[in-house]
Structure 1
């Protein structure tokens, strides 16, 4: 098969999009925080395009076709645990496991319960607790206890479906950080960075217009799959009908455009 030709699995043709950048990962404030959390240089996002309609029920074929594509193998970056350097995939993947990760949360009010349950004080300071361990993490505050300690009385503040949300997964990664993480005493840096990166990966743009004009919205619906210790997030959009409130307090129809682009994000400790 010539380079760039569709593979046998689903006929998908993938192309690497190096021109697509993610400013949320390179702002001075974000890089400063990632350095403090021992994550700088250990989180990377890449974009690829594909030429066929994505069908959720065929996600296994889609992911396998991705890893076998000749445009993916020399461009997909992986973090080597032995050297700590970014390397290319370099070879075909023989086996995959595709797991859907929902991306339905579009508001940071999702985390308001941390204040309601006295995990975080009204002034934003994270409540401390007696030290305990959840290998390899030291738990010294109520936030990490909620994230890690299943026997904690407040662990159920977030239900299992909540914990499967991409927003929660990203927040958890940032809160736990890398091997030499310097933890925050207040919640805001975690929330602000989570929001910035999440909005960069999952975009929601709404434009309201007059009655005579069609109103459109572009919204990325994300599905994620985990392969070994690497999280791959494929972001695509589907046609969805809904309502949008105009400045005149009247409702107009909007729809979501299909973009045929997905995002790949890798987070490693």
Structure 2
């Protein structure tokens, strides 16, 4: 994916939408789970509106315009590597990378293969295995093995296109958690939280002729660079530090899902 620069920003203006709340991250049950997974206070969802038609083939211009907009600069949150506190961007973005993330799945049956392939028992309990490491993650069950170990026996139950799907990405991020993650013994908390997050972030419509549900959102995994290197979502690269932009071209909203891997809850 080619990185964008500051030329040809397409005339987008953005506005922060603080009234948009993401219930998926604030219910007592989800809060408890995120604390257990060492993600509470380190994961954030924000909403912004924009004023022009979104064109997927010009996503680089869209993302660069986003980072240049004063309303974004003043309100987009990230965690400071130095202080560990929530801050706003405060850095001029010189270059961006926006990777297309497929978003086509409309059913959690996508994960049924975890049962049929004996990764998870019929009771919902995740099958354990001998401890091993896939740096920096401890692998103590078959679920994390399927997620991380490419030469494991059942890694192929999810194809590469499956693994690129936004639904799978969310599920994997929640399963791996933060730096002090306490893993679940059963699958359901991961599935429930993934479903809530997906439904809150992704927009759909029903096609009148067929009555089928169609996803209308476009999803990108976004990284931004300043004059001295990567500045967003962090200055330190990690698989569990990420920012996804979920663009609703009909409502003209962009949802930003952010997480920074690290130790401790941030207020």
Q: TM-score scaled by structure 2?
A: 0.84
**Structure 1 moving runs of 4+ over 6 Å:** 215-218
1:261 to 248, 253, 257: 253
The 1:155/1:101 distance shift into structure 2, 3 A limit, reads: same
Unaligned runs of 5+ in 1: 1-6, 238-257
Task: Identify which range, 220-229 or 16-25, moves more after superposition.
Answer: 220-229
| Deviations, residues 135-160 of structure 1 (Å, cap 9, x unaligned) | 00000000000001111111111111
Counterpart CA distance in 1 for 2:191 and 2:60 is: 33
Task: Please state how far the C-alpha of 1:220 moved relative to its aligned partner.
Answer: 3.7
Q: Secondary structure at the match of 1:73?
A: helix
Structure 2: state its 5+ residue gaps.
1-6, 224-229, 231-240, 262-267
Cα distance in 1 between the residues matched to 2:100 and 2:194: 20
**Partner SS state of residue 10, structure 1:** coil
Question: What does 1:1-20 correspond to in 2, within 5 Å?
Answer: 9-20=9-20
Larger RCO: Structure 1 or Structure 2 (Cα < 8 Å, ≥ 6 residues apart)? 2
Aligned twin of 1:161? 161
Alpha-carbon distance between aligned partners in 1 of 2:213 and 2:108, rounded to the nearest angstrom: 20
CA displacement 1:2-37 (0-9 Å, x = unmatched): xxxxx9610111111111110110000000000111
Match of 1:221 in 2: 217
TM-score, with structure 1 as normaliser: 0.83
Note the C-alpha offset of 1:51.
0.7
3-state SS of the aligned residue for 1:182? coil
Larger radius of gyration: 1
Give RMSD over aligned pairs: 2.1
Displacement of 1:232 in angstroms is: 2.6
